[in-house]
Structure 1
């Protein structure tokens, strides 16, 4: 079985169309069609249902999506290791939340670009939950997020804490904003499985009547600044807003749950030269900022 056949099948599943899959894979549409047909002949099963507007996986197709992704991922890893010399080279997809991209990872990316010109590291903005899901299914190779401790659900992952990442409770700081502190807690960049203790402490401190979780730090800041809610955000993401007077700390809060910026990767993936280089650079660069 040729892994290119699996890549063609997965491309059609993800894109919902053979034509769009061909564009993504940078091959012709007949090439994608022929590869999928070859895979179907090899398996003796129809994998895609042809529809007027595209394609969708059959029951048999659904059943092989996850193992097909794993085969493609492992095949790519073997290929990268075989092609990699002593100087790290190749592709790596990294996922991170908004606060870490803006305040922690830009120096890391600059460092990698200057030190390893043959490396192709792409950085994708994602929620912690979305990034972990993509890490597990092979769409990402490494994830940076904020966490407070190991999760029982993460036995398939390894992690390394890079630096402390404390949170702050903030509200509007400019004259004219509501003086009374809202009882609604608004937050972003928190994964409940990894920072659940911190969230519970914030809700208890604020006596929050409601907690609203958003995907955007900017939206949380605006809600806090306008007095709609109290923001629970990493201190590094609100330091400038506090200094400029747009936001203020609601309480001098020192939670018992300590949180850190951490890198996560699939257990067993160490030995991938590009991943090892990124993890080492993260320890050197992120820890220093």
Structure 2
């Protein structure tokens, strides 16, 4: 089987768009369409439904995607073993909380690009449930999750640090009031929400939205210190209380043998936060 077809299929599964897949792979869209049709012909099954809103995997496509990850990882291990030089190449699919993607990981990815130019890291902002499902299903190679304790799962979870969490408000705003919190599934906001009595917080899907409401003096929010550091320094926000820290875990699937690129990325993730591992 031509593994180029599997690579194209894997990118299409991630982007959900033939146009975006063509742009990422530097191909014309007709080539992407031809490659997907060739893969479907080779496997004897329809893998993708072409819908007005984009490309959606069929049940067969979901099953093939998991096998594609395994086959491409095996191919990469063979290439790594055959090389006489220490060069490491490959794609690594990394899922992480929005705060990590926005404030911590760009520095790590840039450092990796300088040291290992053959490694491409694909970042996906995800909450803990989606991160664990992604690693378990093979959609993600590795994930970062912020939790109070290691997730109870068959996956491997290694604590690599802690993230400070603050209850913040605008200067002059009361220490209580309306709360703007991140979506359910965010461990530190869910923990805070459980302690609220009679309050009905407004939930947002982004840190920027919650923080902007607080800066405008509309209420309070619970956010990672790294996401509000500039506002705290500028005086547009104040810390009402420092809340219990959240532990950052690197999550991988022990059923899958990590390739060299994944191992390099996991090593770099051990230094993603400035504090030491949680105890």
TM-score normalized by the length of structure 2: 0.76
Query: Could you say which residue in structure 1 is the equivalent of 2:40?
Result: 36
Query: Could you say which residue in structure 1 is the equivalent of 2:60?
Result: 64
1:69-218 matched pairs, under 5 angstroms: 69-84=65-80, 85=83, 86-152=86-152, 154-155=153-154, 157-173=155-171, 178-179=173-174, 181-182=176-177, 184-188=178-182, 191-192=185-186, 195=187, 198-199=188-189, 201-203=191-193, 206-207=196-197, 209-218=199-208
Residues 92-144 of structure 1: CA distance to partner in whole angstroms, max 9, x if unpaired?
12222332133322221222122212222233344444444443443332222
Counterpart check, 1:221 vs 2:211: yes
Separation in structure 2 between the aligned mates of residue 77 and residue 215 of structure 1, nearest angstrom: 33
Residues 69-96 of structure 1: CA distance to partner in whole angstroms, max 9, x if unpaired?
1110100100111112443222212222
Of 233-242 and 123-132, more deviation after overlay is shown by 123-132
Of 81-90 and 271-280, more deviation after overlay is shown by 81-90
Q: Secondary structure at the match of 2:91?
A: strand
Q: Secondary structure at the match of 2:179?
A: strand
Separation in structure 2 between the aligned mates of residue 210 and residue 230 of structure 1, nearest angstrom: 12
Query: Could you say which residue in structure 2 is the equivalent of 1:280?
Result: 267
Deviation at 1:229, TM superposition (A): 3.0
Of 217-226 and 31-40, more deviation after overlay is shown by 31-40
Q: 1:133 to 1:283 in 2, by over 3 A?
A: same
Q: Secondary structure at the match of 1:139?
A: coil
Q: 1:245 to 1:114 in 2, by over 3 A?
A: same
Stretches of structure 1 that go unaligned for 5 or more consecutive residues are: none
Q: 1:63 to 1:28 in 2, by over 3 A?
A: closer
Q: 1:90 to 1:18 in 2, by over 3 A?
A: closer
Separation in structure 1 between the aligned mates of residue 13 and residue 111 of structure 2, nearest angstrom: 36
Q: Is the 8 A contact 1:172 1:227 kept in 2?
A: yes
Q: Secondary structure at the match of 1:140?
A: coil
CA RMSD of aligned residues (A): 3.7
Deviation at 1:265, TM superposition (A): 2.1
Q: Secondary structure at the match of 1:165?
A: strand
Q: Which has the larger radius of gyration?
A: 1
Deviation at 1:211, TM superposition (A): 2.8
Q: 1:189 to 1:106 in 2, by over 3 A?
A: farther
Q: Is the 8 A contact 1:144 1:261 kept in 2?
A: yes
Q: 1:24 to 1:271 in 2, by over 3 A?
A: closer
Stretches of structure 2 that go unaligned for 5 or more consecutive residues are: none
Q: 1:17 to 1:111 in 2, by over 3 A?
A: closer
Deviation at 1:165, TM superposition (A): 0.8
Q: Secondary structure at the match of 1:281?
A: helix
